[in-house]
Structure formats: structure tokens, C-alpha cells
Chains A and B, each alone.
Chain A
Amino acid sequence: QLQLQESGPGLVKPSETLSLTCTVSGGSISSSSYYWGWIRQPPGKGLEWIGSIYYSGSTYYNPSLKSRVTISVDTSKNQFSLKLSSVTAADTAVYYCASSITIFGVVIWPHNWFDPWGQGTLVTVSS
């Protein structure tokens, strides 16, 4: 079954760009069956969807973060990545990657979900 694993620096300076990678195992990131997403959770707080990507490069972003977010996919490495620019302390969070399903390559977001999730990686924004 699918397994996802986040990786990247645990500390980023304010105003810099946060970069994380999610490695997919147990399946192909090029599968037409999945969208690949990022979700974050500030310490002691709730969950916030950042965005999702298809192997073709089609993306959906949270409107509140869209101006600072870029999600990309590397099919050769079975990985997808997150870049969040101009970070502040408010971007300190555990970042999770997770998958969503498609039906014959078509994503129906109103009737979808996130499963499975990676274990998460804590990113702290501090000088």
C-alpha cells in the first residue's frame, strides 16, 4: 500500500523559502489514481490544507497561501515537493504530505479525502 515520507530542513530563517519533499513508496506517483497534497499543523493548533498536485502538474492551492506556494512533482524520483516563500514565524508547523483519489483520472474534490498521510516533519521558522 501507499506510504509517504516527508523530508527537508527543520529550521528556516524568516523571509526565506521553505522547501520540503515527499517520497512516495508502494505505488507510482505517475499513477492516474492519485492527487498528492500538503497539509500543515501549527504547534497545538488545527490542520490547514496547503495544496495538491497531479502527476501531470495540475495544481490546486489554498487561496490564503496561493501567492507564496509552489508544489511540483518529480516523476523520475517518485517525489513531489513544496516551496513556501517569504516565511514568517506563523509558518512554523508540522508539514504533512497525503494522497487523494481520482476516478479514472478525474479528481472530484467535494467527494474526496486524504489517505494515507506521511508521518509529518516539523519546520521551525526562526533566525
Chain B
Amino acid sequence: QSVLTQPPSASGTPGQRVTISCSGSSSNIGSNTVNWYQQLPGTAPKLLIYSNNQRPSGVPDRFSGSKSGTSASLAISGLQSEDEADYYCAAWDDSLNGHWVFGGGTKLTVL
């Protein structure tokens, strides 16, 4: 059972906008910034969004992140077939002297 809660799956058609939610608590998302990672099939995770809503160089602006209270969201607009991947949220948790926690991952299918 992951500390951060994500829906196991999401889907959309090309061109659509999809959102993926990530729910936590006051000791993680409620206090600290959220990151999102994209894991294409058979590859290592890649940083997609950091500090709630910042995109690393090279990440298309179709990807955006937001945070409110103890929840965060990843939005993908203009969905493309190459966006089909697993998406993970992550945050630092202040409990137990501090440690990183991840969501269970959301598998995005482009129909």
C-alpha cells in the first residue's frame, strides 16, 4: 500500500486532456513539494515535473502540475500516443525522521 494514492489507470484519446490525481497527507504533500515521474514501457523513470509545477528542460508544455492542500495533479493536454506510460507522484514525508514516498503509479492508456 503506497503512502501517496493514485488511480491505477487513466485513459484518453489523442488530443484530449487527461488529469492524474495524487492524494497524500499533511506530513508529505501538505508540507512539501510534489514531483512527477514518467516511466515509458521498459525504461527507467524520468523526471517530468518538479517542485509542484516546474518542467525540466525538454519536457513539453503539454505537461503541467498543480498542488492544493494535501493533493496534487498532473495534467496532460493534447494527448499523444507517446504519452502512454506509467506516471508516479512523489514527495518527502516528514514522519520518521523523513523519507521519500511515492504513489503506486497510474498507467495511462492512449486509446
Q: Could you list which residues of chain A lie within 8 angstroms of chain B, going by C-beta atoms?
A: 39, 45-49, 60-64, 96, 109-120
Beta-carbon contact of A115 and B94 below 8 Å? no
* Given A46-B104, A62-B99, A63-B99, residue A110 in contact with residue B94 (CB < 8 A): yes
Question: Does B51 contact A111, Cβ atoms closer than 8 Å?
Answer: yes
Tell me whether A46 and B46 are in contact (CB under 8 A).
no
Contact B102 A47 (CB under 8 A): yes
The 29 listed contacts between A and B (C-beta, < 8 Å) are A45-B104, A46-B103, A46-B104, A46-B105, A47-B90, A47-B102, A48-B102, A49-B99, A49-B102, A60-B99, A62-B99, A62-B100, A63-B97, A63-B99, A64-B99, A109-B98, A110-B98, A111-B92, A112-B92, A113-B35, A114-B35, A114-B37, A115-B46, A115-B47, A115-B50, A117-B46, A118-B44, A119-B44, A120-B44
| B56 contacts the other chain (CB 8 A) | yes
For window 21-74 of B, CB contacts with A under 8 Å fall at 31-33, 35, 37, 43-47, 50-51, 56
Complex interface: chain A residues within 8 A of B90 (CB):
47, 113-114
Closest to A110 in B: B32
- Shortest distance from the beta carbon of A67 to any chain B beta carbon, whole Å: 13
Q: Which 5 A-B residue pairs are closest in the complex by CB-CB distance?
A: A49-B100, A110-B32, A115-B47, A63-B96, A113-B50
Tell me how far the C-beta of B47 lies from the nearest C-beta in chain A, rounded to whole angstroms. Answer: 4
Known contacts A96-B44, A109-B92; 12 additional CB pairs below 8 A are: A45-B104, A46-B104, A47-B37, A47-B102, A48-B102, A63-B99, A109-B98, A110-B33, A110-B92, A113-B47, A116-B46, A117-B45
B residues near A119, Cβ cutoff 8 Å: 43-44
Nearest neighbor of A120 in chain B, beta-carbon distance: B44
